[in-house]
Chain A
Amino acid sequence: MSEGDTLLYLDGVTVTFDGFRALNALSLVLEQGEMRAVIGPNGAGKTTMMDVITGKTRPDTGKVMFGKDTDLTRLDEPAIASLGIGRKFQKPTVFEPHTVWDNLLLALAGDRAPRFTLFARQTADEKRRIEQILETTRLTDVRHRAAADLSHGQKQWLEIGMLLAQEPQLLLVDEPVAGMTDAETEQTAVLLREINRTRSVVVVEHDMAFVRALDVKVTVLNEGSVLAEGPIDLVSDDPKVIEVYLGR
């Protein structure tokens, strides 16, 4: 796929939970190599959209295509992850009893079958890749610590590192800077832009300062569908967006 091709294509996606429409005919197109910020008030359907893309939730109707011809609605989570879609959760979820190193080792792209992992030994190549990610995520000094002992910000980075280790084409990042200090938030923006040089990224975030710092195309969700789309300055001047954010 070359630059400019469509990587992710959602068309008319509707998800209903007990009569509640979490997604209402949502459509979204993401280009190869693009970074997109998705914002919206609570309950706008941001996390449900992530769930649909990663196979956790199956849509009632609508199309979810990855690349040219992969229908994501037919696949389950491990299959979608293996295709190259990585996800970072709102609450950092790392493997707490394992060291930072082992967390990355388990995330590295490779054979996921039990018959392989039972006898797998760490290769020089794996070691090199882990060291590289440790450097990118600034976790080299704490690599032998249990993930449970990391600070909140470090856990977020470890999870981003695990995403990188998966070598995905597309990263879905849910509220990466929630609970971070200003300095950590800034570093995270730098980190995401670095990642975006080689991969497509979708960032869901509440923090407007952070979204502004990313300086990418923004999609505003409200009540399960797209309210507005465009550069941040244009979107934040949109009267519909202002109404949703500032109350009616």
Chain B
Amino acid sequence: MKLDRAAILTIVLVFGAALVMAALNQMTPPASAMHVPTYVIALAGKYLCFAMLALAVDLVWGFAGILSLGHAAFFALGGYAMGMYLMRQIGDRGVYGNPNLPDFMVFLGWKQLPWYWHGFEWFGFAMLMVVLVPGVLAAVFGWLAFRSRVTGVYLSIITQALTYALLLAFFRNDMGFGGNNGMTDFKAILGFNIQADSTRSALLVISALFLCGQFLLARFVVGSRFGKILIAVRDTESRTRFLGYRPESYKLVVWVLSAVMAGIGGALYVPQVGIINPSEFAPGNSIEAVIWVAVGGRGTLVGAILGAILVNFGKTWFTSVLPELWLYALGAMFILVTLFLPRGVVGLFRRRSRLEPEPEVPAASAAQEVTG
């Protein structure tokens, strides 16, 4: 696989920046001008997790034409799987000091752990669930939707319904996932103090590692013959059928892969923000993820990462200065980008994109068009 300059630059910047920030946090005293405070580390880690979600959205939207308005559901499910592990790590350090039950279960008067919580005390099992739960849900959902040839707006609406249904389900106390409050008060991950600066720095570097890994994987998929067929499916689905391809299989593969990528992003997000609750399923979150991709540049992968970081940086800044205006700013940004930067921020730097190749010899082919 050949990497172009933009891809190498992205990897170097993402991983380099994470490494430098973590090193400065660890190696300089808090009084130093070079010191990177821990809250910045946590914030940067959060952005990188959002970038994974954006990458996942771009993979299905930019290359397979599936506009998912429910991708945050996969992100949140990965987050919940990690959250369950972190709850089990608390052990008897909870408010009620019950070594077998998380606080919210004691509060609800439950006597024993529900069956589906078993196994989550093991890190390996929990990580398997981070991959499996979003993956299996996506496989079932995708198999049903793509096989029935549900596309376009209808599919987008169903994805939105999916995340909304999960939102309502996770709100319920008797689901056993902490209801409205979700899961929080985490103490440790793999035995390390989750509040410690060193753990935070390590999580940032690990997030950067996973983001770069996902980026390379996505590039491999998109650059393969599979990826070319995916783009063909995006533009002219029926034509691929008459060539003997099964668009539903291609969509399903990329859809499941994308859901797993989003789930991993969610799993890394939870220890860094310290909480997971049903609001992560809110339909607005999924729509925001689509806006990040649109702002960065749909169908470019690099743009998804850039868009997620830029918009979230803007959000952090905006919500501290003019919090009540943020949603207006987000909406305005979406409209402006759609109107004036159809290829997003990345489009400013790139003449040709995968989405819409520009003619190499526009004059000649235009002339032929007229005569032909």
Residues of A within 8 A of B (CB): 54, 56, 76-78, 81-82, 86-87, 89, 93-98, 102, 105-107, 112-114, 117-120, 145-146, 148-154, 162, 166, 179-181, 184
- The answer to whether B359 has its CB under 8 Å from any CB of chain A is yes
Q: Are A106 and B368 in contact (CB under 8 A)?
A: no
Q: List 10 tightest A-B contacts by C-beta distance, closest first.
A: A151-B368, A81-B244, A77-B241, A152-B372, A146-B357, A117-B226, A118-B226, A117-B225, A95-B232, A151-B372
The answer to whether the Cβ of B151 comes within 8 Å of any Cβ in the partner chain is no
A82 touching B244, Cβ below 8 Å: yes
What residues on B are CB-neighbors of A102 within 8 Å?
228
Please indicate the chain B residues that have their CB under 8 angstroms from the CB of A86 in the complex: 242
Indicate whether A106 sits within 8 Å of B243 (C-beta atoms), given known contacts A97-B235, A98-B228, A118-B221.
Answer: yes
User: How distant is A86 from chain B, measured CB to nearest CB, in Å?
Assistant: 7
Rounded to whole angstroms, the CA-CA distance of A97 and B221 in the bound complex is 17
Contact A98 B232 (CB under 8 A): yes
Residue from the list B228, B239, B362, B369 in contact with A93, Cβ < 8 A: B239
> Would you call B112 an interface residue if the criterion is a C-beta within 8 Å of the partner chain's C-beta atoms?
no
B250 within 8 Å of A by Cβ? Answer: yes
Choose from B226, B354, B365, B371 the contact partner of A149 (Cβ within 8 Å). Answer: B365
Say yes or no: B224 contacts A149, CB within 8 Å: no
Residues of B within 8 A of A149 (CB): 357, 359-362, 365
- Chain B residues in 8 Å Cβ range of A152: 368-369, 372
Partner-A contacts on B (CB < 8 A):
221, 224-226, 228-229, 231-232, 235-236, 238-239, 241-246, 249-250, 253, 354-357, 359-362, 365, 368-369, 371-372
* Contact of B244 with A112 in the complex, beta carbons under 8 Å: yes
Instruction: Report how many A-B pairs have Cβ atoms within 8 Å.
Output: 103
Q: How far is the CB of B75 from chain A (nearest CB, A)?
A: 24
Assess whether B241 is in contact with A78, with CB atoms less than 8 Å apart: yes
CA of A98 to CA of B360, assembled, Å: 13
The answer to whether B242 touches A81 (Cβ under 8 A) is: yes
Find the B residue at minimum CB distance from A113: B249
Closest Cβ–Cβ distance, residue A108 to chain B (whole Å): 10
A residues near B361, Cβ cutoff 8 Å = 145, 149
Contact between A95 and B359 (Cβ–Cβ < 8 Å)?
no
Task: Give the residues in chain A near B365, CB-CB below 8 Å.
Answer: 149-151
Least distance between B66 CB and chain A CB atoms (Å): 15
Neighbouring B residues of A181 by C-beta, 8 Å: 371-372
Q: Report 13 cross-chain contacts, Cβ distance below 8 Å, ordered by A residue.
A: A112-B243, A112-B244, A114-B249, A114-B250, A117-B229, A120-B226, A146-B359, A146-B360, A149-B357, A151-B369, A152-B368, A154-B368, A166-B243
How many angstroms from the CA of A150 to the CA of B354 in the assembled complex?
17
Tell whether, in the assembled complex, residue B244 and residue A114 are in contact, meaning their CB atoms are under 8 Å apart.
no
Contacts of A119 in B (CB 8 A): 224
Considering residues A95, A119, A184, which has the most beta carbons from chain B within 10 angstroms of its beta carbon? A95
A153 touches B372 (CB 8 A): yes
Query: Which listed residue (B226, B231, B354, B360) contacts A114, Cβ 8 A?
Result: B226
Instruction: Please name 9 further chain A to chain B contacts, defined as beta carbons within 8 Å, in addition to the given A107-B243, A118-B225, A181-B371, sorted by A numbering.
Output: A81-B242, A81-B244, A95-B228, A102-B228, A106-B229, A145-B361, A148-B357, A149-B361, A181-B372
